[in-house]
Structure 1
């Protein structure tokens, strides 16, 4: 039975995330301490206390990275295939052996910092609208230096749109007129996975240029191609491109199913991705490991 391991993205964070794992698992504590030592801010306090900075992109991304890898360490779980949603691709690459934990920590910290600096945009989740219609609407509204575009293709009827703030209200109105059931603005600091991240992408590319990416020991389904990638150069290139390109999660899960994935385990905070997988492919059994209690349940199986 092939196991797909899922690594969540932004929005899943919560105060005191991974604190119980830190206190009860020596393996989880070791990994968390290693990550905490490799960032130049107090990530431990941000994660373990009621710290509002947890919702700031530059801190959210390393926190999610840390929580997911703490679960991996505490359980010793092994995947046959890995898939991360947006920043979740980074802990997935660590689990697959493409990056060591220190380089992964450096990269996720710089990625979060750069993306936090890109402001002036917005994002909205759209429920109940065909993708082709949504894409056509985005294209029709874009022009004169402004644009909106699909950013997260989560399920067949749930897509997140990202782009210039000046167009977001107009997009919401037109989407509802076109039959969308709901259009929900998201509380984010920038327009992730859009053209407004071009500056962040360029700086990110320069930052990771000299970092070695190794061949994965297990397939990594990447967000940009929605295919399993094994070439380190392709993996690095697509990690860079992902900053401005859509997360094709719906297609990634379909690919995992075609590769024989029969169960999917989400490692890290909450169970957003598990819920999406159930909507995409009900033949894949889902579970999640977030808390120390769930770690113990998995280890006792």
Structure 2
């Protein structure tokens, strides 16, 4: 249930960031999908209270959108992004490229018939795997439009401060410190793609060489390494008492 998991992951990530101490000052931040909200809290663009309130509103809006129409996502491995985009564009049902995770790994999102047809076509086109995911719905697709409309008002009413460092957002992966642009990108994110490959690439171009994953697991470290094996990655951990 996305309305439960999103606030839980947000809290975990923010607590980890706090445990890094007051001296922790990132040079730049980014977050994958939901992680964008905890990244904004870490960069002091959002207060903790406002971040949690928006995440709860986002999670509830997305849950309602999921219940309007059965939908799903699938991971596509081993094809160029352009091939996946072209095949999805040729499917009559709703299916789009949703998460550009790393070179050769792209997640598609849409209606169940759309994703099923795309998986079959992508497998025929040479995908190594087309694996349907156990998710609540078609996140980062046009099927999230009701959630985007619902969340827009809450985001527009929220105070967003100038962050202490640039944030690279999912739908516009360039260095950004504009509060108004941050708001606009957060609204667009619900129906827009998570451009993680492009985000990491741009951060590397802008001088990043040491990535700290602040959240549960180590998935993002693996994705960063698949973009560039030479960079240093590590996970934020809870200090031992």
Give the paired residue count.
Answer: 236
Match for residue 146 of structure 2 among 176, 179, 199: 199
Greater mean alpha carbon deviation, residues 73-82 or residues 188-197: 73-82
Q: Provide the rounded CA distance (Å) in 2 between the counterparts of 1:263 and 1:203.
A: 37
Q: Provide the rounded CA distance (Å) in 2 between the counterparts of 1:243 and 1:98.
A: 19
Shift of 1:278: 0.5
Counterpart position of 2:39: 92
Report the 3-state secondary structure (helix = DSSP H, G, I; strand = E; otherwise coil) of the residue aligned with 1:86: coil
Q: How does 1:1-301 map to 2 (within 5 A)?
A: 56-76=1-21, 77-119=24-66, 120-142=70-92, 146-290=93-237, 292=238, 295-296=239-240
Shift of 1:296: 4.1
Please, what is the CA RMSD of the aligned residues?
Answer: 1.2
- Runs of 4+ aligned residues of structure 1 deviating over 4 Å after TM superposition are none
Q: Provide the rounded CA distance (Å) in 1 between the counterparts of 2:193 and 2:201.
A: 16
Q: Provide the rounded CA distance (Å) in 2 between the counterparts of 1:136 and 1:250.
A: 18
Q: Provide the rounded CA distance (Å) in 2 between the counterparts of 1:171 and 1:112.
A: 27
Q: What TM-score does the superposition give when structure 1 sets the normalisation length?
A: 0.76
Report the 3-state secondary structure (helix = DSSP H, G, I; strand = E; otherwise coil) of the residue aligned with 2:108: strand
Q: Provide the rounded CA distance (Å) in 1 between the counterparts of 2:80 and 2:155.
A: 37
Shift of 1:237: 0.4
Q: Provide the rounded CA distance (Å) in 2 between the counterparts of 1:156 and 1:234.
A: 27
Q: Which segments of 5 or more consecutive residues in structure 1 lack a partner in the other structure?
A: 1-55
Deviations 1:151-203 (A, max 9, x none): 00011100000011122211111111000000110111110000000010000
Q: Which segments of 5 or more consecutive residues in structure 2 lack a partner in the other structure?
A: none
Q: Provide the rounded CA distance (Å) in 2 between the counterparts of 1:211 and 1:70.
A: 21
Bigger Rg over Cα: 1
Report the 3-state secondary structure (helix = DSSP H, G, I; strand = E; otherwise coil) of the residue aligned with 1:233: helix
Q: Provide the rounded CA distance (Å) in 2 between the counterparts of 1:211 and 1:132.
A: 37
